[in-house]
Amino acid sequence: MNNLERKEMSKILAYAPHLGANFAARSISALIRCSLRSKAQAEMLAIARTHGWDKSPEFIICPRFA
C-alpha cells in the first residue's frame, strides 16, 4: 500500500470499534476498488478477512479482487 492508503487504513482500523463492522466493510471495499495496484488490493483484502469484515453485506467488490 502507498502512504495515502496506509493512512486511510489506519483511520478505518481506529474508527471501526466505535462505528461498527458495516462502516469498516464499506470503507475498506471502497479503498480496494480505488486502488490501482493489485498487491495493495490483496493487502487490504487480507486485513478485511482478518477482521471478518469481508462477510458483511456492505463489503462490495468486483469478483476479480476476491
**Residue whose C-alpha cell reads 493487502 in the numeric block:** 43
Domain spans in the chain, listed from the N-terminal domain onward: 3-55
Section 41-58 average pLDDT? 94
Say how many Å lie between the first and final Cα of the chain, rounded.
Answer: 17
**Assigned C-alpha cell, 42:** 490483496
* The predicted structure's pLDDT at residue 63: 73
- Whether 66 has a pLDDT exceeding 80, the answer reads no
**Residues above pLDDT 90, as percent of the chain:** 86
